[in-house]
Structure 1
Amino acid sequence: MSVTPVVILTGAGRGIGFAILTHLLSLPSPPNILAVTRTITSPLKSLAVSHNNLETVSVDFSSPSLDLKSEIATSVIGVAVSRWGRIDSLILNHGVLEPVAKVGDANVAEWENSFRTNFFSNVELIAGAVDELRKSKGRVVMISSGAATGAYTGWGAYGASKAALNHLNMTLALEETDITTVAVRPGVVDTDMQVALREVHGKVMKPEEHAKFLNLKKSGTIVKPEDVAPILGNLAMKAEKSLSGKYFNWTDDALAVYR
């Protein structure tokens, strides 16, 4: 008898996360999904009402680490295991761009918040789920960024936290050979983060950097969440072991079979 896999998806309330969620729910044999978000949006509530394989929880990943560790253990890992008895995949999608400021103007407390949200919370999620992932020979999909390997003015905190995530991906693959872990750069996706880049953060970035994002939106070449979501969702369901520990652009040929 086949077992329905269990997926924990963070940042599920909007943007890429919500698109991944709707993709997974549309599969012929959808998994059980624990959708984690800071704010449970109306569209997410509606989906939870109409899909009995979907559970939602609200967690603020910017919380101080000691409190967050307890909350992750009880409100995320504990809920998934209590309801479905297993965990097969983590899709680590949540994150913040801020602070957007030059290193010379850095507020270290704001950098700490960025790392707590974008990196340390993911370490705690993986550590909390690792026993279940070992048992299920599960998968971890980390949503990385081009900023992990290329710098933009004012993006120091965000880029450094994503670079750390890439290294976490490599380390996890080395240490946990029964778990398949992949980091993916989704490109410039049309989300609230991009709205903030175009409308708020241009004053910090170099004019040519700001123009890049303005032009992507104006030309219609910005990536749509629903375009990249299937790859990320499908990797969580069936990523091959040969991908483990690697960092990919979502358009790479190695991921073509997951489209």
Structure 2
Amino acid sequence: MSVTPVVILTGAGRGIGLAILNHLLSLPTPPNILAVTRTITPALKSLAISHNNLEAVSVDFSSSSSDLKSEIASSVVGVAVSRWGRVDSLVLNHGVLDPVAKIEDAKVEQWGNTFRTNFFSNVELIHGVIGELRKSKGRVVIVSSGAAVGAYTGWGAYGASKAAMNHLNMTLALEEPDITSVAIRPGVVDTDMQVALREVQGSVMKPEEHAKFITLKKSGTIVKPEDVGAVLGNLAVKAEKGLSGKFLNWNDDILADYR
């Protein structure tokens, strides 16, 4: 008798996360899903009501509280194990771009907040679920960024935190041979973050950098959330061991079978 896999998905309330969630729910045999988000949006609440294989919990990963680790264990991993008895996949999608500021204008405490959200909370999540993933020979899918390997003016905190996630991915793959871990570069995706970049935060960037994002939107070549969401969702349930430790573009040829 086959066992229905259990997926923990963070940042599930909007953008790429919501696209991943919708894809997973649309699969012929959908997994059980714990959707984690700072704010449970009306769209997510509606999905949770209409799908008995979906549960949503609210967690603020920006919290600097010393109790955050136990909060994650009880509110995230504990909820999944209590309801479904296992965890097979962890999709790390939550994150913030702010502060968008040059290094000369940087405030270290703001960088600390970015790393709290984008990096340290992910280390804590992996730490909290690693025992379950060992048992299930499970998967970790990390939503990374091109900013991890390429600099943009004012993106120092965000890019550095994503570079740290890429290294965490490699380390996890090395240390945990029974767990498949892969980091994905989703490209420039048509989300609220891109709206903020075009309309607000672009003033910090160089004109040619800002123009790139405007042009992608106007030309219609910006990535659709549902396209990259399908790849990330498929990786969550069937990523092969040969991908472990890699940092890949969402549309790389090696991922053709996941599109």
The count of aligned residue pairs is 259
Partner residue, 2:126:
126
What is the rounded CA distance, in whole Å, between the counterparts of 1:172 and 1:72 in structure 2? 19
Contact 1:169 1:245 survives alignment (8 Å): yes
Q: 1:212-251, CA deviations, whole angstroms, 9 ceiling, x for partnerless residues?
A: 0011111111001001111100001011100000000011
Partner residue, 1:112:
112
Q: 1:29-62, CA deviations, whole angstroms, 9 ceiling, x for partnerless residues?
A: 0000000000000010100010000000000000
Q: 1:9 to 1:113 in 2, by over 3 A?
A: same
Partner residue, 1:195:
195
Name the SS of the counterpart of 1:66 in structure 2. Answer: coil
State whether structure 2 residue 135 is matched by structure 1 residue 135.
Answer: yes
Question: What one-letter code is carried by the residue in structure 2 that aligns with 1:207?
Answer: P
**Over 3 Å off, 4+ runs:** none
Partner residue, 1:230:
230
Partner residue, 1:250:
250
Partner residue, 1:163:
163
Partner residue, 1:94:
94
Question: What one-letter code is carried by the residue in structure 2 that aligns with 1:14?
Answer: R
Partner residue, 1:77:
77
Partner residue, 1:2:
2
What's the CA shift for 1:92?
A: 0.2
What is the rounded CA distance, in whole Å, between the counterparts of 2:66 and 2:27 in structure 1? 37
What is the rounded CA distance, in whole Å, between the counterparts of 2:3 and 2:148 in structure 1? 36
Partner residue, 1:212:
212
Per the normalisation by structure 2, the TM-score is 0.99
Question: What one-letter code is carried by the residue in structure 2 that aligns with 1:121?
Answer: S
Gaps of 5+ in 1: none
Contact 1:65 1:116 survives alignment (8 Å): no
Q: 1:185-207, CA deviations, whole angstroms, 9 ceiling, x for partnerless residues?
A: 00000001001100111110000
Q: 1:85-105, CA deviations, whole angstroms, 9 ceiling, x for partnerless residues?
A: 000000000000000000111
Q: 1:132-176, CA deviations, whole angstroms, 9 ceiling, x for partnerless residues?
A: 000000000000000000000000000000000000000000000
The percentage of counterpart residues that share the same residue type is 82
Contact 1:65 1:121 survives alignment (8 Å): no
What is the rounded CA distance, in whole Å, between the counterparts of 1:197 and 1:116 in structure 2? 22
What is the rounded CA distance, in whole Å, between the counterparts of 1:116 and 1:70 in structure 2? 15
Contact 1:40 1:57 survives alignment (8 Å): yes
What's the CA shift for 1:67?
A: 2.3
Name the SS of the counterpart of 2:9 in structure 1. Answer: strand
Question: What one-letter code is carried by the residue in structure 2 that aligns with 1:143?
Answer: V
Q: 1:86-131, CA deviations, whole angstroms, 9 ceiling, x for partnerless residues?
A: 0000000000000000011110110000000000000000000000
Question: What one-letter code is carried by the residue in structure 2 that aligns with 1:212?
Answer: K
* Alignment RMSD (CA, Å): 0.6
Gaps of 5+ in 2: none
What's the CA shift for 1:70?
A: 1.3
Per the normalisation by structure 1, the TM-score is 0.99
